[in-house]
Amino acid sequence: DQQVKQNSPSLSVQEGRISILNCDYTNSMFDYFLWYKKYPAEGPTFLISISSIKDKNEDGRFTVFLNKSAKHLSLHIVPSQPGDSAVYFCAATVNTNAGKSTFGDGTTLTVKP
Amino acid sequence: DVKVTQSSRYLVKRTGEKVFLECVQDMDHENMFWYRQDPGLGLRLIYFSYDVKMKEKGDIPEGYSVSREKKERFSLILESASTNQTSMYLCASSPSGGTNSYEQYFGPGTRLTVT
């Protein structure tokens, strides 16, 4: 039972346009969500997060939207840059789980110059 | 600046060997994690530890064990390596308490090949 799903394995966008990465979850107990970015041969790095009490969190070019009723979150990157090309992982956690997160499969974003 | 280091970037072992993967973090984090990453399967949690000598099974603990004798060090042990354990292994750490505990800091990974 995969509790966090990223249904698009890959996404390709043109530089300067918007990138939208999607994530769906099934466990209604999740109350905090994170996005990580991973370059080849490196470990993932934290990008942005959102608490379940919010529906939007913005940090520069990156915005995460949460729709709790649909159990869906999305990451928007505007404008996209070639350096954003990476694998993006969505993660979800429950407050009582000692920091343990459940990760999605990842989406490979390619931003073309 | 948080730093998580892993003992090897690349490792080649033979089937049946005992394999040790070491992870060290320098930020006094309580929580430490071991994941494996496989194409199309994302990050799967093998074991995690929320304190010295404490450990809990993750989603795929079979064939693995862990050791945490010191707060900064978390070791993953493959008792008898098999070819289906060929994978990228990632270690992570996080502080305890509040929403800061949710953000994990990852090491660079160890690419293990079992032949």
- pLDDT of amino acid B65: 97
Whole-angstrom distance, CA of residue A103 vs CA of residue B5: 21
- pLDDT of amino acid A47: 96
- A35: pLDDT strictly greater than 90: yes
Cβ of residue B45 closer than 8 Å to a chain A Cβ: yes
Residue B78's alpha-carbon distances to B8, B18, B35, B87, in angstroms, are: 15, 6, 13, 12
Residue B2's CB is within 10 A of a number of other CB atoms, namely 16
Cβ of residue B109 closer than 8 Å to a chain A Cβ: yes
Non-local CB neighbours of A85 within 8 Å, separated by 6+ positions? A109, A110, A111
- A44: pLDDT strictly greater than 90: yes
Whole-angstrom distance, CA of residue B89 vs CA of residue B96: 23
- pLDDT of amino acid A51: 92
Interface probe for A, chosen from B9, B23, B24, B43 (most Cβ of A below 10 Å), is B43
B35: nearest CA partner in chain A = A103
Question: Do A89 and B102 make contact, defined as CB atoms within 8 angstroms?
Answer: no
